[in-house]
Chains A and B, each alone.
Chain A
């Protein structure tokens, strides 16, 4: 079956540019998460959407980062005025519910490189 799809798979851009990353969750999954994984590091939680509720933005590292989820499905993560320290793999995951019982299913991420 279709898993979590992320695009683009790779993105190279110049410092100062804006980038937009897309995530298509598994159909029917109401919870959606964005994470960041830097080289050799663990997962860094960024933002969480659950249904029509206001997102939990507690992990966003700065106000240059924002995300939206339209129609409870597709989500986009936007990074404005990119910096070199934004270089990382950005991972999206979805889950059938909130509450931590059902597992999160991940996409293969977008590898972002800031020159």
Chain B
């Protein structure tokens, strides 16, 4: 699976849009971009994933650049409950052996009141 790079931390004011970047310059054609987050003392929570088109669901939007080397997760109206560590992961289909996820350091997003 391709390696991803994220800033270690970000602040965002409550009610504003939080834009979390992720670089995945070595992504290959069959690899998807996934975003998870982990709130303290809880299990990781799936947010969204995409291949090459932008995606939107009830939680967030995912913008993937045309060359697929980077992406941005957008939380449109951040609330205090969105404070968490956000993980960007790139994974391909199958891959054999374990399909376990590997989380990097992620971005610690802090929503300020």
Q: Which residues of A contact B (CB under 8 A)?
A: 4, 31, 33, 35, 42-43, 45-46, 48, 56, 58-59, 91, 93, 98-101, 103-109
Contact = CB atoms under 8 A, between A and B. Distances in A.
Secondary structure at the B interface, as helix, strand, loop or mixed, is loop
A20 B43 CA distance: 19
A103 B34 contact: yes
Given A43-B102, A45-B100, A99 B93 contact: yes
Contacts of B100: 33, 35, 43, 45-46, 48, 59
B97 A103 contact: no
Nearest to A91: B43
Contacts, number: 67
Contacts of B68: none
A48 B94 contact: no
B46 A56 contact: no
Contacts of B102: 42-43, 45
Contacts of B36: 103
A42 B104 contact: yes
Top 9 A-B residue pairs of the complex, sorted by shortest distance between their CB atoms: A45-B100, A106-B43, A103-B46, A42-B103, A108-B43, A100-B91, A106-B44, A99-B94, A99-B93
B103 A108 contact: no
A108 B49 CA distance: 21
Nearest to A107: B43
